[in-house]
Amino acid sequence: MNQYSDLLRAGEQRARSGLRFQIATLIVFPIAAVLFQVYVPLAFPYVGYLELPLLATVYFALKQREPIQSLLYGAGTGLLEDALSHHPLGMFGIVKTLVGYFAASVGVRFDVDNPLVRFTLTFFFYFFHQFLHWVLARALLGELRGFSVQQSLFLGLMNSIVAVPLFHVLDRLVSRGYKASLLR
Amino acid sequence: MELLTNRYRNLSVLALAVVGQLLLLGYQVRSRQDVRLVRVWAVTALTETSSALAAAGGAVGSLYRNYVWLVGVRQENERLSKELADLKLEAQRLRADLGTADRAQALTLFQSRSASRTIAARIIGAGTVTDSRVVFLDVGANQGVADGMGVITPDGLVGRVRAAYPTTAQVVLLTDPSFAAGVISQKHHVQGALKGNGSALCRVDYVHNEEKLDQGEWFFTSGDDRLFPRGLPVGVAEVVQKGKALKDILVSPSGLRNGLEEVLVVLEPVHQPVPDAKEPPPELRLLPLPPDEMTVKEPPAGSRPAGAGTDADGLLERYRRIGEAQGHVYGQGAPGSRPPDFNIAPANSPATPAKPPATPPANGPDVTPLQ
């Protein structure tokens, strides 16, 4: 055993700790977001407009900047949301897969830590998410429901307003967890 | 292939993910079948998670509310204590009202079945002298109450009206030392004079040692005093002892047994026979009266000839004839005026009823119902 092998072992240990933290956040956050989406509006109906699973998908896609991980994250979150909805499985899954992929692709090109960029991207992806879901429901399920542009724009604005501080809180949580894993 | 896995890896994975979900979607839409297993897993997992979260949140919230956030608890406790005290008072009042309603119902039933004409009254006050047994009623001369009228309850004799005022009447209870009434025992027909003793028990005087009387025997009013109609239950002989020449007899008044709140003032007394003291065979269990006989039904007018009907109707007719024969109008006599002589048989009187009254008092004397 020499100093070089010790350094290698310590590096592997840190990598495993970081991976554990990443897996925990990958599993816990989407579940918490879907739970919030399902149960909290029962007690507080006015928070029903919040699309937290979408915000979680956008955040991790922007943060990871890895299209494959992000699209899988979006697919998993969307399928979980589908499982608790009255729609066939795959509607939210497809939409959030695309959102995850495009958000990760955009994250490579922009400074995604800027609040204004986050606000704009969240607003755009919310509208994209709603529109794509409407298109899929109309095309694949034959649902003849209308699409309200004004309502989608307004709700996109609301979600964007919430997303900026939420992303900041998540930044703090992730960085703290990552630092803690490095200190172990 | 290498191009797909390296250069277009991201797009390939995206296409795979989207196509896979599209196929899943298409399968569900085409076959109209749900992927139930996935939903069951998801719902179960999320439900369990949410239940655990809700339980944890509830525990934390309960801890916070019960041990941390105690603002206003003292004031709330005082308010609740006051409300509790008010509710206890209310419950007590309602219980008393319920008891009053039961007694009033029993009184009304007895009043409707009694041959004598009575008026219900409520006791509104007691006498001021400590050892006197006097009460005031809420009815008086305006309602037809006069001095000397008997006061009864369904359980038995209560007392006598000493003074009738326009709106109230003073009643001497039978336990008052100044009270006296003629009584007769149920089984051996021993006659005596009931007198108040100033205590809970009354004594019966003028019963010779030679006369036979059992302990526990019932006494009824004899009607000889012309104050009370014959046949009203008075009480049970609690103590029967031989004295020097006369027996020492103490009677427990049945009319005062359950307390006094509502009474009946006998406006027009009607004598009734003292019920026979026939004891039912011990092996027989008497059923209560059928429901139809528990209520008094007024026959339609003209459906029954005068003098016919129940025993009470016969008695009523008899006393009406007595009154007519002696020129007495019931209810019209001045206080203290001479009552008609009920012992004179009226001319052309119908068959005299000899049956006991249909309503024995509660825990009353032994009677044979449905004779």
**Mean pLDDT score of chain B:** 77
Structure-token match 């009470």, residue found? B312
Among A35, A94, A141, the residue with its CB nearest the CB of B50 is A35
Best-predicted range by mean pLDDT (A76-80, A173-177, B288-292): A76-80
Of A4 and B161, the one with more pLDDT? B161
Q: Which residues pair with B183 in a beta bridge?
A: B192, B221
Within 8 A of B26 by CB-CB distance, chain A residues are 140
Contact B38 A94 (CB under 8 A): no
In chain B, the residue whose alpha carbon lies closest to the alpha carbon of A77 is B42
Separation between Cα atoms, residue A124 and residue A102, nearest integer Å: 11
Contact A67, B10 (CB under 8 A): yes
From residue B240, how far is each of B203, B211, B218, B245, B247 by CA, in Å?
10, 11, 12, 13, 7
In chain B, the residue whose alpha carbon lies closest to the alpha carbon of A85 is B39
Query: Which band of pLDDT confidence, cut at 50, 70 and 90, is reported for residue A50?
Result: confident
Within 8 A of A91 by CB-CB distance, chain B residues are 25
Within 8 A of B29 by CB-CB distance, chain A residues are 88, 140-141
- Rounded to a whole number of angstroms, the distance from the CA of A41 to the nearest CA of chain B is 14
Q: Which residues pair with B118 in a beta bridge?
A: B266
Q: Which residues pair with B249 in a beta bridge?
A: B204, B240
Task: State the distance between the two ends of chain A, measured CA to CA, in whole angstroms.
Answer: 21
Query: Which structural domain range is residue A174 located in?
Result: 3-183
Question: What does the domain layout of chain B look like in residue ranges?
Answer: 116-274
User: Which residue from B234, B321, B202 is spatially nearest to B270, judged by alpha carbons?
Assistant: B321
Query: Which band of pLDDT confidence, cut at 50, 70 and 90, is reported for residue B368?
Result: very low
User: Which residue from B181, B179, B201 is spatially nearest to B193, judged by alpha carbons?
Assistant: B181
Query: Which band of pLDDT confidence, cut at 50, 70 and 90, is reported for residue A122?
Result: very high
From residue B225, how far is each of A38, B119, B181, B222, B300 by CA, in Å?
90, 22, 6, 8, 37
Task: Please identify, in words, the CATH class of the domain defined by B116-274.
Answer: mainly beta
Of B3 and A94, the one with more pLDDT? A94
Specify the pLDDT at position B352: 45
Q: Tens digit of pLDDT for each residue in A11-35?
A: 666 555 555 556 667 788 888 888 8
Separation between Cα atoms, residue B124 and residue A19, nearest integer Å: 90
Contact A93, B2 (CB under 8 A): no
Contact B29 A140 (CB under 8 A): yes
Within 8 A of A101 by CB-CB distance, chain B residues are 10, 14
> In chain B, which residue ranges form alpha helices assigned H by DSSP?
2-6, 9-31, 36-67, 73-113, 291-294, 311-325
> Total structural domains in chain A?
1
Q: Tens digit of pLDDT for each residue in B180-235?
A: 899 999 888 888 999 887 788 898 998 888 888 888 899 999 888 877 888 888 99
How many percent of chain B have pLDDT more than 70?
A: 78
Q: Model pTM? A: 0.44
In one letter, which amino acid is B148? Answer: G
Separation between Cα atoms, residue A68 and residue B12, nearest integer Å: 9
Among A67, A84, A101, the residue with its CB nearest the CB of B46 is A84
